[in-house]
Amino acid sequence: MHNSSAVLAALTADAAEPSIPYVRLLGRVEVLGLGSGKQQDSRRRQLTEVAAWLVLNPGSSRLEFDEAMWPGARVDNQARNTLMSRARRWLGNKPDGSPYLPPITEGVYGLDLAVTCDWAQFQELYRTGHHGSGLDADIALAQALALVRGRPFAGTLATKYNWNEAWVQEMISAIEDAAHELAQRRLAERDHRAAAMAAARGLEAIPESELLYRDLFEVHAASGDRESLERAARRLHDLNEELGVDPEEETVELLETLLKGRRTATA
């Protein structure tokens, strides 16, 4: 039981408020750890996009920055310089007085190494958990999933973040894999609560993932919770109807086995 509660606690833990700029991408995009009043900047959305791009693309060139922020447009030097200066003020300074967004030298753009993001944290924890086994590895996967708050890059304007499609796909793939792996590991340990929570965390980011729904179905069946199994099956059915797609063959077969098996067992 102690092992079970340790993984569940890691899955549901709230992160501490950072004291330095920290970019959140695994859900609604935002920058935490700014000084008071900074979030009210009238250009906050644009500055958040600048920070998100810089944290994911260290060591990039001016041309790459221009193409990300103003795709296909000729960029006025003044507009770029004004935006970078504003971002530098917004992100603030380190305790030694130097800015978290250093002046551009030799055409190389990048944030100070102290500035990080949830995606970098996720990857580190994911690697630790994925390549390990046992309780510590499962806790690492749980800590990675605890960083997920929704679909990556949620809450952004459709006309912005034209550069992020490959990042979104990479993040979604990793989240799905981590959630599936942890759900199956905890299911094997009969830790049904943590297994269900792992799948649910993944579904927050990828609500259409049938792989994670199948994990959820297996967990509910293993714990004897037929009501939750049927409710989850209805939820997936409604979602597929909404999306105009058929369920995957594997999903149909699994549900048939689990529901029929349960009926046979209780007949």
- Show pLDDT as tens, one digit a residue, over the chain (267 residues): 446 689 999 999 888 889 899 999 999 999 999 976 565 667 889 999 999 999 999 989 988 999 999 988 888 888 888 999 999 999 999 999 999 999 887 778 889 999 999 999 999 999 999 998 899 999 999 999 999 999 999 988 888 999 999 999 999 999 999 999 999 999 999 999 999 999 999 999 999 999 999 999 999 999 888 899 999 999 999 999 998 999 999 999 999 999 885 444 443
CB 187 within 8 A of CB 218: yes
Token pair of 7, please? 């993984």
Backbone angles phi, psi at 108, to 5 degrees: -105, 125
Q: Which amino acid is at 219?
A: V
Look at residues 182, 165, 68 and name the one whose alpha carbon lies nearest to residue 122.
Answer: 182
For every residue of 38-103, DSSP letters joined together read GGG-TTHHHHHHHHHHHHHSTTEEHHHHHHHHSTTS---HHHHHHHHHHHHHHH-B-TTS-BSSPP
CB 49 within 8 A of CB 161: yes
Give the pTM. 0.90
Location of structure tokens 């600048």: 50
CB 259 within 8 A of CB 230: yes
pLDDT score of 159: 85
pLDDT score of 267: 35
Token pair of 230, please? 């049927």
What percent of the chain has a predicted confidence (pLDDT) above 90? 69
pLDDT score of 158: 81
CB 150 within 8 A of CB 205: yes
CB 77 within 8 A of CB 50: no
pLDDT score of 39: 59
pLDDT score of 107: 77
